[in-house]
A and B are shown apart, each in its own frame.
Chain A
Amino acid sequence: MYALRLFAVRHARFFERFYGFFEATYVAAAPLVRRIGANRLERPVAAVERTVKGTLFDCRMCGACILSSTGMSCPMNCPKQMRNGPCGGVRLNGHCEVRPEMKCVWVQAYEGSRRMAGGDAILERQPPVDRSKEGCSSWLGVLRDKGLVHREPAA
Chain B
Amino acid sequence: MRAGRAGLPDTSRPPPAGYSSHGRLERVLRSGRFAVTSELNPPDSADPAEVYDRALVLSEVCDAINAVDASAANVHMSSMGICALLSHAGYASVLQVACRDKNRIAIQGDILGASAMGVMNVLCLTGDGVQCGDQPGAKPVFDLDSISLLQTVRTMRDESRFLTGRKLSVPPRMFIGAAANPFVPPLAYRADHLGKKVAAGAEFIQTQYVYDLDIFERFMARVRDLGLDRKCFILAGVGPLASARTARWMRANVPGVHVPDALIDRLEKAGPPKAAKAEGKAICVELIQRLREMKGVKGVHVMAYRQEEFVSEIITASGVLQGRRGRARALPAAPA
| Same complex | yes
Chain A interface residues (CB < 8 Å from chain B): 79-92, 94, 97-98, 104, 106-107, 110-111, 122-123, 125-128, 131
Of listed A86, A88, A98, A126, residue having the most chain B CB within 10 A: A88
A84 to B144, CA, bound (A): 10
Cβ A89 vs Cβ B140 within 8 A? no
A82 to B163, CA, bound (A): 18
Chain B residues, Cβ within 8 Å of A123: 192, 195-196
A86 to B192, CA, bound (A): 11
Chain B residues, Cβ within 8 Å of A97: 128-129, 132, 255-256
For the side of the interface on B, what is the size category?
35 or more
A80 to B126, CA, bound (A): 8
Chain B residues, Cβ within 8 Å of A106: 186
Chain B residues, Cβ within 8 Å of A80: 99-100, 126-127, 129, 140, 142, 145
Q: A83-B148, A88-B181, A125-B199 are in contact. List 18 more A-B contacts (CB 8 A).
A: A80-B127, A82-B142, A83-B145, A85-B147, A86-B186, A86-B193, A87-B126, A88-B180, A89-B184, A89-B255, A90-B184, A97-B132, A98-B129, A107-B186, A110-B188, A126-B147, A126-B148, A128-B144
A3 to B179, CA, bound (A): 32
Cβ A79 vs Cβ B200 within 8 A? no
User: Is B11's CB within 8 Å of the partner chain A?
Assistant: no
A110 to B191, CA, bound (A): 13
User: Is B208's CB within 8 Å of the partner chain A?
Assistant: yes
With beta carbons under 8 angstroms apart, the residue of B104, B152, B185 that contacts A90 is: B185
With beta carbons under 8 angstroms apart, the residue of A84, A87, A128 that contacts B196 is: A84
Question: What 1/0 mask marks residues of chain B from 145 to 163 whose CB sits below 8 Å from any chain A CB?
Answer: 1111001100000000001
Chain A residues, Cβ within 8 Å of B126: 80, 82, 87-88
Cβ A88 vs Cβ B148 within 8 A? no
Chain B residues, Cβ within 8 Å of A125: 147-148, 151, 196, 199-200
| Contact sample, A vs B, 16 pairs, CB 8 Å cutoff | A80-B126, A80-B140, A82-B126, A84-B147, A84-B196, A85-B196, A86-B193, A87-B145, A87-B146, A89-B255, A89-B256, A90-B185, A94-B185, A125-B151, A125-B199, A126-B148
With beta carbons under 8 angstroms apart, the residue of B104, B140, B185 that contacts A107 is: B185
A30 to B216, CA, bound (A): 51
A106 to B196, CA, bound (A): 14
For B179, the closest partner residue in chain A by CB is A88
With beta carbons under 8 angstroms apart, the residue of B104, B140, B188 that contacts A128 is: B104
Q: Which 6 A-B pairs have the closest CB atoms?
A: A88-B181, A89-B255, A84-B147, A98-B129, A110-B186, A90-B184
Cβ B145 vs Cβ A82 within 8 A? yes
With beta carbons under 8 angstroms apart, the residue of B128, B140, B143, B146 that contacts A84 is: B146
A58 to B147, CA, bound (A): 24
Of listed B128, B142, B189, residue having the most chain A CB within 10 A: B189
Question: What 1/0 mask marks residues of chain B from 279 to 314 whose CB sits below 8 Å from any chain A CB?
Answer: 000000000000000000000000000000000000
User: Is B22's CB within 8 Å of the partner chain A?
Assistant: no
A82 to B142, CA, bound (A): 8
A94 to B186, CA, bound (A): 7
Chain A residues, Cβ within 8 Å of B131: 98
Chain B residues, Cβ within 8 Å of A98: 129, 131
A90 to B140, CA, bound (A): 17
Chain B residues, Cβ within 8 Å of A89: 128-129, 181, 184, 255-256
Cβ B185 vs Cβ A92 within 8 A? yes
A19 to B100, CA, bound (A): 33
Cβ B184 vs Cβ A128 within 8 A? no
Question: What 1/0 mask marks residues of chain B from 53 to 92 whose CB sits below 8 Å from any chain A CB?
Answer: 0000000000000000000000000000000000000000
User: Is B258's CB within 8 Å of the partner chain A?
Assistant: yes
A80 to B99, CA, bound (A): 9
Q: In angstroms, how far is the closest chain A Cβ from the Cβ of B98?
A: 10
